[in-house]
Structure 1
Amino acid sequence: MARQAKGSAKGPQIEGGPVRLDDRSVAQLTCPAGKKDVLVFDAAQRGFGVRVEATGRRTFLFQYSVAGRKRRMPLGVFGEVTTAKARSLAEKHRGTVVSGGDPWGEQRTAKLEAVAAERRASEQAKADAFTVSRLIEDWDRLHLVHRRASYRADAPARLRRHLPDLLEAPAVSVTRAQAVKAIDGAVNRGGPVSARRVLAYARAMFGWAQGRGMLEANPFEGLPAPGQETARERVLTAPELGLIWRAACALPAPAGLFVRFLMLTLARRDEVAGMKWGEVSGDLATWIQPGARTKNGEPHSVHLAPAAQAVLEGLERGKAEDLVFATLDGDKLTAFSFIKRQLVKRVEAERAEAAKKAGMEPPQPLPDWRMHDFRRSGVTWLADAGFPPHVADRLLNHVQGAIQGVAAIYQRAQFQAERKAALEAWAAHLVACGEGRSTSPKVVPIGSRRTSQKGG
């Protein structure tokens, strides 16, 4: 005969036999000494029972079999649910079993699906938060830090400027159609040359993310480049340089001074825009470009001819960290397209006025020109003036110059004296052009220093 629960001859049975479970009887149940837990089933309702643990915890359950396997389904903890509530749940589940269902399996499947749904929601939330703007930040912080300074400065800024409709879109959701639309928009916004840069940057950035497992696809991969990449050959003539010089003199500061300094030094546009007073010598005779801002990553010394010094004298000298050609708000000068339009407007106005005075029809606009053409025009004039190619290479601070191969390894001279003579000759030419005077390129370089281009 089964052992009775301690306390009453008619109390609930602990082992073997069923017990009529209600709140009172369940409260009296205890676990036998030496056992972890014990099961007690109801005398009236098949499969309905309670697990009594040594700790005193009592958990209602419904036991049934499906496909020959026993299932025990928790119904709640006594004290949190009443016996009557647990009995009602057991009856409901028994109906499911009778109908051929598996309530425990169904509940487990529902839980697993809920967990999976929660995981998917979390992953989707992360994907939604990883926008193209965030991708640009990560690419800049983790990858571009190892690239040259000019690339790092241009790539993120250009992508943000020309991909405005994609910045807040999840990077993982960007489609090929959206990529095509974005590049077409870049063409309309900045022209085919700028759009090709945008495409190259976007393709590199998405490829980097794909390689790191952050994205599964690169929507910019394989897109045809807009327009046709052609090497520019525009060399400005002396009259054209004079027109631009006079137009720059008429522009308000700092734009006009910026353009004149750009022409005089043959430096890159972004190098001049980022120039700080701490990089200029006290006597204004030398400008040392830090390697962090040069294209080849090497510091570059630029001699400032008297005309270039005069430009700087027209500006109020600031602290070492202050920009030389800052806007009125102290920000970096970036409105290059606007400055170019103002130059073109003044150049064409002068040409039209000259034609009117001569009784001629208004002339056709000058062939397209860029600020970058100043560099090509300058070294072309210097070559005609007799300055050797390697001096021009040092002036332009090219990554690869005329001296290459083994010779480049041994030839470390900077040709400072020749560079100074070249820039002063070029500055004199620009001033003469601005005054409408003709100049001859027959300038004899100082000394007879000609470095051999053969290694040894």
Structure 2
Amino acid sequence: MKIDITKPHALRAALKGTPEGQPVEITDKLTAGLSARIRMINGVPVGQWNCRVTIGGKTKRISLGSVAEITGEQARLAALQAKATAKGGQAIVSASTAARTTAAAQEKQEKQDAVHSLTWADVLFAPHDGPSGERQESYQARVWDKKRSGRDAINSIKRLFGDDLNKPMVDLTRHRMEALYLSRADTAPHAAANAVRYFRPAFVHYATRDYPTNRDALDLVESLMKPPSRGGQYEKPTRDRVLTPSDWTALWNAAPETPAGWAMKLAMMTGVRNREACALRVSEVDLENRIIELPATRSKNKSHFRVVLGDKAIVIITTAMQTNADRGMDTDLVFTNDGTAPVWLGDNVKKAIDQNIDVADWRFHDFRRAMASHLAESGVDDSLVDLMLNHAASKSRSGVLGVYNLSEKMEQRRVAIAKWEQITDRWITGKSAKIVKIG
């Protein structure tokens, strides 16, 4: 039966008088090879549009789609496009095959998206769909609930990672892992080491099962903890490395002229900790009185602390602040690349510096030990050095002395900072500098 398939209700008209379920073959009046085998089911025409095309001298019948989903006008256009494609010698995929392929690809993509959106909290503490699509139990149910140390493992990991557990697994990069570890280790080194020890087998479990983890972060986890000894305890070695004058000078000269490099130099000249330097706020700096007012919330021992600034530290801070202003960044951060986040002295910065110098086995935290050691050798009292470094745990600031002696010794500290600048000037320039008391 030849009909104009583009007319309204053309299919119903073709099936008029035909018993329910009986097929009728129709063809389009205007498009050769375009046809459909249709029947009426529950008052609705059903069937498939088909088109005959010739490819390489052979006639092939392809499906264009269901009559319920494609109108006659759309079927005619699809048939003409199929014929033009065949005439050009290109392969033609039927609508049904294309639909199945598209559906399969879409389903695969949805599964991949679901896996890539998994957070560490999802896989560690809750059932979830794994990369294979199968339902997986949590690591907590798989391992920690079966061990007496399981609760300690969960609490340690939550304290180390915090809100990062609720971010996609792939967001835990080496740089982020290092920042979290160092931040925790700065105040609780044993707790940080234990958290990594608990986290390592879980990380390995998911990294080897096609979960979206970062291999470089796993490498860092592996390097942070040595294999356990025969007794099953992980070693937590102490560090006694003191930078020599030549080491210190090489690091000073290699520090990049960037916000991170300036933060590094501020730590070298003041002895503040990594995070205290990197996250320095403009509102904490008092240039007139040459001090940093470090709030209790950013101090390791949770108490307000004043950091004395020498000439070099003043230049470093003002340079960073002026650079931010020149870049149009209205920010309270002193050391920042984008105005919203502070810099961090992590693995990437260290690697860049290591490419230009030959200083073995150094860390950013060594700047504090170097300042303390060389000031002590120059005659500065240990208790004053401890006060300059805000070392509440030292012998000179603990016990009875720590309770009753609350003096900040600002004048003595200013003299000591001037002496530190004299020492480092001699290292850098090879010339002696005159000590000037800063009042």
Instruction: Specify which structure has the bigger relative contact order, considering alpha-carbon pairs within 8 angstroms and separated by 6 or more residues.
Output: 1
- TM-score under structure 1 length normalisation: 0.47
- TM-score under structure 2 length normalisation: 0.49
